[in-house]
């Protein structure tokens, strides 16, 4: 509502905040069927703008209050949540986009970290039961934690926002941060990586022709090549999955926009270089095999990491197959993003479709078009004005 009085703003904010229409399933179904109006399944989230002193109650009452930084009064600025320093309404869209980006960055980091935890924990538990010790040494686990906590958070948290964020539907305030796609991603990748590492743990000795890691350590007191291959495969698959975790909605192209984030590329390359140095030259300090790995063993580790990227496409296909009907249909501009109250006439950018024009507007357009044709043919066809000029 533009050009509304402060009392109207307060009434509107109160009414929307107290509205329980979303709880009336029958009414919501009727609105969707008859009018194409979709009611968000939770209490409405109200954003209000204002610049005057009288707008302060409405700014306070709204969930998010926007005040003007240039023309706004100090009282309005004190009552609001966000100050638009340039007095530009387009900044509201920018604020929403960055807010959604922060939320998505948290989801990406949680998805990445929990996947690593699933794999590392399963491997440590299996090693403890089967060999009375974990095949991943304590110092190696610290290096993995460094990749997870510090470097990965820096890489995933610096993802720049994209316009596609505005096409995503609003998030229910009671919804979990873990979406169905995220669960498929974490469990799917966890099963693959844990399965491959367990195969290496029990059958890697015969495949590579190396002595068992636990027995070699007991006999020589030095790190084994067996456990070094295991550790290297885990780290490289973790780095590959870091690329997968950039996407949350099952996108096929996980590399889309990767070079827009310089931090992500820099962290990924730096981590890979450090991993190579640790394995080849870390030796006794990082509990790796002294002398490093040969070309065949490195090829196996790298191919395992590449297969993680391919496997993500399988996970996406399975998630799509078992997803809900609504989730299988891409969000159209009619269902998009900025408003909690969504209609069939436009998205969060208020892009009204041509079909939303009613019959009277179409008739007016048709009349004007015929009038222009008449003008080009003869001035006498023009309607006369009150002043008598044709």
3-class DSSP state of 64:
strand
- The whole-number average pLDDT for the span 152-167 is 88
Model confidence at 116: pLDDT above 70: yes
How far is the C-alpha of 216 from the C-alpha of 169, rounded, in Å? 55
pTM more than 0.95: no
Q: Is residue 154 part of a domain?
A: yes
Residues 159 and 80 in one domain: no
Residues 272 and 312 in one domain: yes
How far is the C-alpha of 366 from the C-alpha of 353, rounded, in Å? 18
Q: Is residue 174 part of a domain?
A: yes
Tell me the pLDDT tens digit for each residue of 298-332.
Answer: 999 999 999 999 999 999 999 998 875 444 444 33
Residues 250 and 380 in one domain: no
- Band of pLDDT at residue 185, cut at 50, 70 and 90: very high
The CATH number of residue 169's host domain is 1.20.1110.10
**Most confident region among 100-114, 134-148, 371-385 by mean pLDDT:** 100-114
Residues 189 and 309 in one domain: yes
Model confidence at 6: pLDDT above 70: yes
Which residue would you say has higher pLDDT here, 265 or 366?
265
Q: Is residue 339 part of a domain?
A: no
Task: Tell me what pLDDT residue 326 has.
Answer: 45
Model confidence at 362: pLDDT above 70: no
Domain that holds residue 275: 100-323
Q: Is residue 262 part of a domain?
A: yes
Of 87, 238, 237, 108, nearest to 160 (Cα)?
108
Model confidence at 104: pLDDT above 90: yes
Q: Is residue 206 part of a domain?
A: yes
Helix (H) or strand (E) holding 67: strand 64-68
Task: Tell me what pLDDT residue 355 has.
Answer: 35
Q: Is residue 343 part of a domain?
A: no
Residues 66 and 159 in one domain: no
- Band of pLDDT at residue 264, cut at 50, 70 and 90: very high
The number of folded domains in the chain is 3
Residues 109 and 207 in one domain: yes
Model confidence at 349: pLDDT above 70: no
DSSP H stretches of helix in the chain: 6-18, 25-35, 56-61, 74-79, 90-131, 138-146, 152-157, 180-208, 213-220, 225-244, 262-277, 295-321, 325-328, 359-377
- The whole-number average pLDDT for the span 98-117 is 93
Task: Tell me what pLDDT residue 346 has.
Answer: 39
> Could you say which of 51, 67, 88 is where a domain stops?
88
Which residue would you say has higher pLDDT here, 388 or 207?
207
- Band of pLDDT at residue 221, cut at 50, 70 and 90: confident
- Band of pLDDT at residue 219, cut at 50, 70 and 90: confident
Model confidence at 343: pLDDT above 70: no
- The whole-number average pLDDT for the span 101-127 is 92
Of 118, 94, 152, 107, nearest to 249 (Cα)?
107
Residues 169 and 36 in one domain: no
- Band of pLDDT at residue 171, cut at 50, 70 and 90: confident
Q: Is residue 93 part of a domain?
A: no
In the chain, the largest separation of any two C-alpha atoms, in whole Å, equals: 112
Pairing of strands 82-84, 64-68: parallel
Residues 12 and 145 in one domain: no
> Could you say which of 289, 323, 357 is where a domain stops?
323
- Band of pLDDT at residue 371, cut at 50, 70 and 90: low
Model confidence at 165: pLDDT above 60: yes
Residues 40 and 167 in one domain: no
> Could you say which of 265, 293, 323 is where a domain stops?
323
DSSP string spanning 187-234?
A: HHHHHHHHHHHHHHHHHHHHHHT---HHHHHHHHSS--HHHHHHHHHH
Residues 176 and 242 in one domain: yes
Tell me the pLDDT tens digit for each residue of 126-142.
Answer: 988 988 888 998 899 89
Q: Is residue 106 part of a domain?
A: yes
Model confidence at 281: pLDDT above 60: yes
Tell me the pLDDT tens digit for each residue of 9-36.
Answer: 889 888 888 888 888 889 989 988 898 8
Task: Tell me what pLDDT residue 357 has.
Answer: 38
- The whole-number average pLDDT for the span 155-164 is 88
Of 186, 183, 177, 169, nearest to 38 (Cα)?
169
Residues 76 and 221 in one domain: no
Residues 124 and 242 in one domain: yes
């Amino acid at each position: 509502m533009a050009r509304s009085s402060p009392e109207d703003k307060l009434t509107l904010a109160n009414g929307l905040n107290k509205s329980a229409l979303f709880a009336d399933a029958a009414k919501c179904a009727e609105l969707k069927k008859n009018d194409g109006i979709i009611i968000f399944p939770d209490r409405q989230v109200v954003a209000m703008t204002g610049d005057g002193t009288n707008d302060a109650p409405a700014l306070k009452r709204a969930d998010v209050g926007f005040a003007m930084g240039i023309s706004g009064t100090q009282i309005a600025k004190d009552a609001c949540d966000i100050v638009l320093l340039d007095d530009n309404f387009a900044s509201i869209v920018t604020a929403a986009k960055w807010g959604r980006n922060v939320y998505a960055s948290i989801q990406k980091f949680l998805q990445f970290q929990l996947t690593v935890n699933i794999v590392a924990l399963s491997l440590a538990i299996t090693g403890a039961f089967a060999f009375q010790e974990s095949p991943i040494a304590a110092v190696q686990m610290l290096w993995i934690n460094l990749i997870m906590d510090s470097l990965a958070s820096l890489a995933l948290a610096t993802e720049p926002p994209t316009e596609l964020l505005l096409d995503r539907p609003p998030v229910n305030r009671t919804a979990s941060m873990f979406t169905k796609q995220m669960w498929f991603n974490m469990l799917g990748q966890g099963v693959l990586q844990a399965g491959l590492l367990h195969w290496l743990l029990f059958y890697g000795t015969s495949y590579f022709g190396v002595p068992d890691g636990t027995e070699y350590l007991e006999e020589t007191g030095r790190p084994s090549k067996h456990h070094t291959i295991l550790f290297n495969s885990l780290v490289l698959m973790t780095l590959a999955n870091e690329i997968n975790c950039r996407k949350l909605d099952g996108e096929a192209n996980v590399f889309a926009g990767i070079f827009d984030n310089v931090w992500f590329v820099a962290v990924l390359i730096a981590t890979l270089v450090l991993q190579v140095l640790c394995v080849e030259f870390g030796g006794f300090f990082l509990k790796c095999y002294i002398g490093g790995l040969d070309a065949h063993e490195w090829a196996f580790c790298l191919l395992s990491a590449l297969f993680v990227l391919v496997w993500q496409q399988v996970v996406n296909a399975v998630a799509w197959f078992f997803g809900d009907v609504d989730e299988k249909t891409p969000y159209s501009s009619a269902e998009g993003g900025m408003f909690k109250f969504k209609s069939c006439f436009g998205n969060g950018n208020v892009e009204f479709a041509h079909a939303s024009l009613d019959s009277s507007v179409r008739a007016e357009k048709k009349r004007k078009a015929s009038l222009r044709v008449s003008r080009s043919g003869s001035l006498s066809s023009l309607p006369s004005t009150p002043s008598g000029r044709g």
